[in-house]
Amino acid sequence: MQSPTLPRSLLGALRRVMRPLVRLMLRKGVTYTVFADLLKEVFVDVADREFRLDDKVSSDSRISLLTGVHRKDVRRLRNESETSIATLPANITLSAQLVNAWTNSRPFCTDAGQALPLPRLASVGGKCSFDALMAKVSTDIRARVVLDEWLRLGVVRLDEQDRVHLEAQAFVPQKGFDEKAAYLGHNLHDHASAAVHNLSGEGLPFFERSVHYDALAAVSVDTLREAVAKEGMQTLLNFSRLAADLENLDSPGIEQRQRITIGLYFYTEPTDPVSSMTPAP
């Protein structure tokens, strides 16, 4: 039985947030037992990292009191390998840097920030080639290796003139479960972190807004989907160019750097006929 001091509104929100995650887990064979063990690790790790008193390492007993996890499990989990906060894999980070250069740096894009089709080889396109784009970001990995991976993921395509076209104006793999799963963790973590920060009422709130309607016809939904895909992507590209310009202007120093995430999403599902009924006058 839940403690009566726990906010019912919070528990209801958590239940709703968990539904799509549980849906994904059931589809992929992640059972409750597996998830419970994973959740136990997260509870211990967050309590250990973020809920210390006077910045002192907490005892197993205190973490057990905070989390409700048995002290034996707390000790075992803390003695096992150090849990690290997941970051995007190196291949995705490199790819994101390449897309950013492709859409923001001349001569690889237009003034409007649209990625140009690039000749694959420097021997053909010179400084405006996929080889040159790769060399701008990294000299440690061959351009052909990245190109083959991007072709596999559906990020780019090759035309009959051996030119490379960017299929998505941000690095969003069309294939590749591992890459998609990495973005699931990154994007949901940062969106949830912003929402949790705003709920705490501490410090300046993060911008976190949405538009929602519940009585649209399917054709109207399709119109909105296309508008978000086009105008939303352009908005994100504008923010990306601004961030790139500011990063280039930031002077090096001892000040700690910060990362940002800016997101925009679209979702639709059938409206619950019960909740959408209009009361009779």
DSSP-assigned beta bridge partners for residue 53: 56
Q: Is residue 228 part of a domain?
A: no
Half-sphere exposure for 62 (CA within 13 Å, toward CB) = 13
The pTM (predicted TM-score) of the whole model is 0.71
The reply to whether 280 falls in a domain is: no
User: Using one digit for the tens of pLDDT, what is the confidence trace for 102-117?
Assistant: 988 889 998 767 899 9
Residue 44 lies in a domain: no
Q: Let me know if residue 96 belongs to a domain.
A: yes
CA distances from 106 to 133, 137, 142, 155 (A): 10, 14, 21, 20
Give phi and psi for 118, each to the nearest 5: -115, 135
Domain that holds residue 121: 90-166
Residue 150 lies in a domain: yes
| Domain assignment present for 127 | yes
Instruction: Reply yes or no on whether the pLDDT at 276 is more than 50.
Output: no
Structure confidence by residue, pLDDT tens digits, 170-196: 666 666 787 788 888 989 999 999 999
Separation between Cα atoms, residue 52 and residue 50, nearest integer Å: 6
The total number of structural domains that make up the chain = 1
On whether residue 15 sits in a domain, the answer given is: no
Query: Is 99 within the bounds of a domain?
Result: yes
